[in-house]
Amino acid sequence: MTDSTTADTVAADTPAAPVLVLNGPNLGRLGTREPDVYGHLDHAGLTEQVRRWAGELGLSVDVRQSDDETELVHWLHEAVDAGADVVLNPAAFTHYSYALRDAAAQVTTAGLRLVEVHLTNPATRETFRHTSVISGVATGTIAGFGAASYRLALAALT
Ligand code: DQA
C-alpha cells in the first residue's frame, strides 16, 4: 500500500466535520421579532428544522446563534481549524462588518465552503440592506425563502 493510498483511506474513513450553522444578531429573537417580516418560527424551532433537514441530507450540523461579533469571528476561525463548511446568516453584520468578512474569507480561502443565507431578500428591503460585505467572499448566497433558505444552503453542501 502506497502512502497516498493510506492517506486516501484515512480521508474516506474520517467523518466530515459538522457543518457550522451560524446565526448573527437578533436572530435569537425570531418568533417575536417583526413576525410580519421574519415569520413566527422561533430560533429553537429553526434549529430543530435545520437539524431535521441536515439529517435528511446526510449532514451533521452544529447550530449556534450570537449577538456578539467577536464570538461569530471566533466561530469562523474554529470552522477553518476544524475543516468545517459554514452556513452563515450574518444578520445586520451582513451590511457593515469587515471583521466578519475577513473571518469568512479565511473559510473560503482555506478551500471550505461558506453559504451566506437570509430569511428575507435584503435586495427588496431598505437601501442599507442592499450591500453585503460578506457576499464577495462567500461561496454563494441564498436569500428570501424564509427558513427554507437554510435547507437550500445545506443542499448546496451535499
Ligand atoms: C437577515 C436580513 C438582515 O438585513 C437583517 O439585519 C437580519 C436578518 C435575514 O435573515 O433576512 O437580521 O439577515
d(CA 109, CA 137): 9
38 catalytic per annotation: yes
The verdict on residue 22 lying in a domain is yes
Evaluate if residue 9 carries a pLDDT over 50.
no
Evaluate if residue 87 carries a pLDDT over 60.
yes
The verdict on residue 4 lying in a domain is no
Q: What is the mean pLDDT of residues 75-94?
A: 98
d(CA 58, CA 75): 23
6 or 108, which is more confident: 108
Q: Which residue's C-alpha comes closest to atom 6 of ligand 1?
A: 92
What pLDDT was estimated at residue 20? 98
The verdict on residue 53 lying in a domain is yes
60 is in which domain, residue-wise? Answer: 17-156
Evaluate if residue 1 carries a pLDDT over 50.
no
The verdict on residue 10 lying in a domain is no
The answer to pTM > 0.85 is: yes
The verdict on residue 28 lying in a domain is yes
The verdict on residue 92 lying in a domain is yes
Q: Is 129 in the pocket of ligand 1 (CB under 6 A)?
A: yes
Assign 113 a pLDDT band (cuts: 50, 70, 90): very high
Evaluate if residue 125 carries a pLDDT over 80.
yes
d(CA 22, CA 147): 14
Q: Is 141 in the pocket of ligand 1 (CB under 6 A)?
A: no
d(CA 117, CA 12): 29
Cell numbers for 158, please give them. Answer: 451535499
Number of structural domains (the chain) is 1
What CATH number does residue 30 fall under? Answer: 3.40.50.9100
Integer angstrom CA distances of residue 48 from 21, 52, 102, 108: 12, 6, 29, 27
Tell me if 158 sits within 8 A of 134, measured CB to CB: no
The verdict on residue 120 lying in a domain is yes
CA of 10 to the centre of ligand 1 (A): 40
CA of 132 to the centre of ligand 1 (A): 11
